[in-house]
Structure 1
Amino acid sequence: MLFVLKYPTYILAIFVVLFLLWGCESKKKKGSPEISEGSVEYTISYTPEIMEKSFSFLLPEKMTYYFRDGSERISFKGELGLYSLDFISDHSTDSSSTLLKIINKKMFVPSSESKKLFIFRSLKEGQVKFIKDSTRTILGYESHKATIHLNDKQKTEIEVWYTPEISTPTTNKNTPFSEVPGVMLEFSIYFNDVLFKLTPKTVEKTQLPESLFAVPPDYSATTIEEIEQTIAGILQ
């Protein structure tokens, strides 16, 4: 108490410094993403017209997006685990590998031949528009709205809800969504005249293993044409 009475100016200065440091730290946390490494699991839904097709039971039911600074993996899973389609992106070399597994057949396209993710091809010329003052909370994360207008005959518009609270410096790189500053929680993919609507189920903050971003040794190299033809065969 005597120290406080004797040195009131010093005590006040200490409190001011602590307050300023606390304020700077709070601003830093507010402006930084809450999650920069982890995964988002989505459920996939389709239009009633597509669900009436004979191939609808073969369409993937879920997608998982794994992310960290410099690496991403998009994984589609089919009914009963009969097949999986994966895209692994290595942003340090600006390349990606495409993997396809159908029952016991495992194929991959080397990164040198798979620089772009073909699943997004129909969106590549789309125009991204950010909708100001349009926010909602998805799985506890504040999300912002954007739209992508496609240059197709139907003038398709895709709605995107993304959150800057989950992001890395390389989020959405090498995709038509590269302008979107955060992980997309709700969005759609338009491929081979099929609209895939993705809705988030879970978000997990976790350290991802290196093996997740590597091509397994039991996969055989193939061409992107064979992968696309195989996928197109499923969607017929």
Structure 2
Amino acid sequence: MNRSVNQLVGVAVILFSLSSCISKSPKEISEGRIEYDIEYDTLTLSRIDKKILPSSLVVLFCNNNTINTIDGLSGAITISIISQPSKKEFTTLLKVFNKKLYHSEPYTNGHYPALYARIPKVNIDTLVRDCDYIGYKCKSVMGYFADNPDNRFEIIYTKQIAIDNPNLNTPFENIDGVMLGFNLRFNNLEMKFRARNVAKENINNDAFKIPKDYKKVDFQTMTDLIYLLQQ
């Protein structure tokens, strides 16, 4: 009898230990917000006032729809990209003070939205390692822009945030997961993005709609305007 009791206690302890381990692992989320900080090297900060540089990136996601928004000058300038797989469509939104413009286009292989149009493809090393980042199980790999193989940077990504093909039609399309750490380069300006927070929250479908006060422009106009902002 005592032996049976001891066995039951042992099984209970094991089950409790397993449940404790499981509870510490973050659950996969399919709706919420990711907030990133943007860092710059000392050379950039020595020639450009940090106050006018983009300071943050926010990604909202729900049902595979995403909107990525980067801003500068305390929100006076914002660039957003809306991705809607159900419509197979990207939309770029640009706000420069009171001027508000947008351009929509279908998914096309090998074609990037206006924000990425002048950015080379990112190549990925074959060595991938496991890591933990802000509570998520991630992969870490080194990447580089195709035109500058000597300048490598770390890319951190996870499969625990449920967004299908999150890097579709971007220079990072070879990364199979949501990136929590990566670099972007606009002209000679290199930006280092690091997620500081991932929060599960309800996202209204209106977040993925084109605001009514935005005016439609063509792809070339949008690309040229974004390029001018990078000077």
State TM-score, norm by structure 2.
Answer: 0.78
Contact 1:37 1:68 in 2 (8 A): yes
Please report how far the alpha carbon of residue 118 of structure 1 lies from its aligned counterpart in structure 2 after TM superposition. 3.4
Q: Which of 127, 132, 139 is 2:128 aligned to?
A: 132
Distance of 1:169 and 1:112 partners within structure 2: 17
Pick the aligned partner of 1:212 from 199, 202, 207.
207
Per-residue deviation at 1:124? 4.9
* Structure 2 partner of 1:80: 74
2:47 is paired with a residue whose SS is coil
1:170 offset after TM fit, Å? 3.1
Seen in structure 2, the aligned counterparts of structure 1 residues 54 and 198 have a Cα distance that, compared at 3 Å, is closer
Judged with a 3 Å threshold, the aligned counterparts in structure 2 of structure 1 residues 179 and 113 are, in CA distance, closer, same or farther, namely closer
Instruction: Name the % identity.
Output: 25
How big is the shift at 1:110?
Answer: 2.3
1:130 CA displacement: 4.8
Shift of 1:122: 5.3
1:200 equivalenced with 2:211 (yes/no): no
**Which of the residues 43, 67, 84 maps onto 1:49?**
43
User: Which residue number corresponds to residue 64 of structure 2?
Assistant: 70
- 2: CA distance, partners of 1:112 / 1:150: 25
Deviation digits for residues 150-207 of structure 1 (CA, Å, limit 9, x no counterpart) = 2214643231011211132232222232332321111111122211111112111122
Q: Aligned equivalents of 1:199 and 1:213: distance in 2?
A: 24
Q: How many residues align?
A: 212
Q: 1:182 to 1:30 in 2, by over 3 A?
A: farther
* Aligned equivalent of 1:231: 226
Residue in 1 aligned with 2:144? 149
Alpha carbons 1:34, 1:166 under 8 Å: kept: yes
The verdict on how the C-alpha distance between 1:84 and 1:197 changes in structure 2, with shifts beyond 3 A counting, is same
Report the aligned-residue RMSD: 3.1
Distance 1:53 1:225, change over 3 A: farther
The equivalent of 1:116 in structure 2 is 112
Q: Distance in 1 between matches of 2:196 and 2:218?
A: 33
Unaligned runs of 5+ in 1: 1-18, 24-28
Residue 100 of structure 2 aligns with an amino acid whose one-letter code is K
The 1:54–1:188 alpha-carbon spacing in structure 2 relative to 1, beyond 3 Å, is closer
Q: Which moved more, 1:219-228 or 1:124-133?
A: 124-133
* 1:123 CA displacement: 5.1
> Could you give the per-residue CA deviations for residues 110-168 of structure 1, whole angstroms, max 9, x where no partner exists?
23599622333455533223533341x22111221022232214643231011211132
Counterparts in 2 of 1:183 and 1:192: CA distance versus 1, 3 Å: same
CA contact 2:52–2:73 (8 Å) conserved in 1: yes
Question: What residue number does 2:168 align with?
Answer: 173
What is the rounded CA distance, in whole Å, between the counterparts of 1:93 and 1:126 in structure 2? 26
Match of 2:154 in 1: 159
Q: Secondary structure of 1:34's partner?
A: coil
The one-letter amino acid of 2:186's match is F
What pairs with 1:81-96 in structure 2 (closer than 5 Å)? 81-96=75-90
In the other structure, the counterpart of 2:98 is: 104
Counterparts of 2:154 and 2:177, CA distance in 1: 15
* 1:66 maps to amino acid: L
Task: Note closer, same or farther for the CA distance 1:49–1:214 as it changes in structure 2 (3 Å cut).
Answer: same
* Unaligned ranges ≥5, structure 2: 1-14
